[in-house]
Copies of this chain bind each other. A is one copy, B any other.
Amino acid sequence: MTQTNNSLNYHVSVDCVVFGFDFGKLNVLLLERNFTYQGEEYNDLKLPGDLVRTDEDLDTAASRVLKELTGLENIYLRQFAAIGTPNRLNRLDRDMEWLRFIGHPEEVVVTVAYYSLINIDQDKIDKFCLQANTRWHPVAEITELAFDHMEILNDALLMLRSELKSNPIGFELLPSKFTLSQLQKLYEVILGTELDKRNFRKKVSNMPYVVPINEKEKDVSHKPARYYIFSKKVYEKTRKNSFDFSV
């Protein structure tokens, strides 16, 4: 959280909700705050974010924050809300105290929120270079965050689940060939709900863009399952916008 008085926009910040999927659960990248307020020690969590510099646009600011915290570049970040509720930063005295402590102006009123969804499973995990106070936390275990960040996280989660139901973003989190159990697990983990296996497979069988290939799992203790691929080409060709009369 660097600050040079003449290169920061005092009234606008960005906050990033970065979801990480690891097949076991849905995680979110959070920053730990350690500070003492009125003799009591607080260890709480906040979303990664920073003030926007006057020489950068909002998207650049969000990418910079993410790069500083994780070492990752070129992560897809999507703007999903601007939030300017008066006094959103000073609901708690200790939040105000912390802002003063880090030299952050208290008058910041508007934050632009971004969200991102990345696969933190196996092959990608070693590319991360997390800062000491930054860690993945299971979304399901988070009940409180600093400032209004819990609301921002909840909004991002609603957005993510709605996107997952209407667009094929889930396939980007899977290996290029995947089993139907993996696909189902992905939906269950992100939606936070169990799905009926039979119903799920029936629906998938009606998706011409989820294509079985002539290859099965190897070296597994259970009956080897068939692999599938997602065909973006077939999807683009067969997708239907309900009210698109031009095609």
Contact = CB atoms under 8 A, between A and B. Distances in A.
Given A83-B58, A85-B57, A166-B243, A109 B195 contact: no
Contacts of A241: 165-166
Copies per assembly: 2
A58 B246 CA distance: 36
A191 B243 contact: no
A57 B85 CA distance: 4
Contact of A110 (B112, B166, B187, B239): B112
B245 A86 contact: no
Interface in A79-105: 79, 81-86
A243 B167 contact: yes
Contact of A245 (B52, B199, B242): B199
A54 interface: yes
A126 interface: no
Given A79-B82, A83-B58, A166-B243, A109 B193 contact: no
Find the residue from A81, A191, A199, A242 having the highest chain B CB count within 10 A. A242
Nearest to A171: B243
A57 to B, nearest CB: 5
A57 B79 contact: no
Interface in A1-46: 9-12
A55 B88 CA distance: 11
Given A52-B84, A57-B84, A110-B110, A165 B244 contact: yes
A128 to B, nearest CB: 28
B82 A245 contact: no
Interface of A: 9-12, 52, 54-58, 61, 79, 81-86, 109-110, 112, 164-168, 170, 184, 187, 191, 193, 195, 199-200, 203, 207, 239, 241-246
